[in-house]
Structure 1
């Protein structure tokens, strides 16, 4: 098969709105396969999830503080997934980003990729006058000992999956049901909690997209939708 996207710097951008976790995960897997086969360019999905806890490959269920039955009764879904990292929360008010990009065309370095995702959040937060940074011990984006963004990725054949979760106006009490990322002596925060004013989530998505393009060097953006992807892309993947 001819790889049509081995050097082009086009980016597909999909704002998926509020998307159930299982649907987003399946979408990622289909896009990953298509990107690996060279059928599509790099893609970034920005979205929100309904209330969900995800456990990465090294997660301990000891960090889940309620039984799975209790959580499901509260409307919180639970998924064990194939990203790195421990347990985290996703929910409305949190911008989740899933880049499906070919690092062969950027830099084949997983650590630099993680730092680039952190820089994406740091640069976006700085537009609101908020100074964020890194923690030398833990991945993610921090304001002192408060975590504002979690990062967990998967890389195979230098194609990426999963990504970041940036707390914008998230319901922070939902983190009380877990030990986030297995870290017992730190807390979580959000853009809105730090700034003490309402933050419009679509505005944050626009800023994230602009910084994503700058960091990864894309020169053209094509906006698409989950419906377009399902109708026009998946038929190409055999």
Structure 2
């Protein structure tokens, strides 16, 4: 495999893994909470959590710039207080991929939690178990296959992220250039052979992930 492919492949895998971890922790926690609670604004919050799935990635990228850019709502404080700047960095690419892929794990995990028998959790509570114990010992094990399938889809989506990543992380070869951006670069340069090779690599990885997640979902059902 040529070095021009290895570098963006390694960066893409690193970004996708970290984005999956971040969105997985947040998405599973929110899914469990939303599946077990009903409150004023529940439908609105659910819609906001699903919004990255339907908004154009460039719009999400712009929102991220407004939020964490050097002069953004949070970015200015991150820069002044902690010396953290996410613009044009691979960490910014992780943030973009995590935001874009969050709805996949959130929706999958919430559906898995809602399919679990609530009587088991209630029985555990009557025996003195707290909410965290119910989560770790009852809800999470029963929903694990659905959550795992959601995480695999999240990983695949994070690997293919383009628009929001380009907006916030830019296109810096060896630093922020992921596989999808490298494909765009190759096409723009008229390097069809490089573009074909890169698309083949990312397509193969995504197909393997989709086949694996599909088998998990079939096993669960």
TM-score > 0.5 by shorter chain: no
Which has a greater percent of strand?
Answer: 1
Larger radius of gyration: 2
TM-score (norm: length of structure 2)? 0.27
Structure-1-length-normalised TM-score:
0.26
Larger RCO (CA within 8 A; separation ≥ 6): 2
Whichever structure has more helix as a proportion of its residues is 2
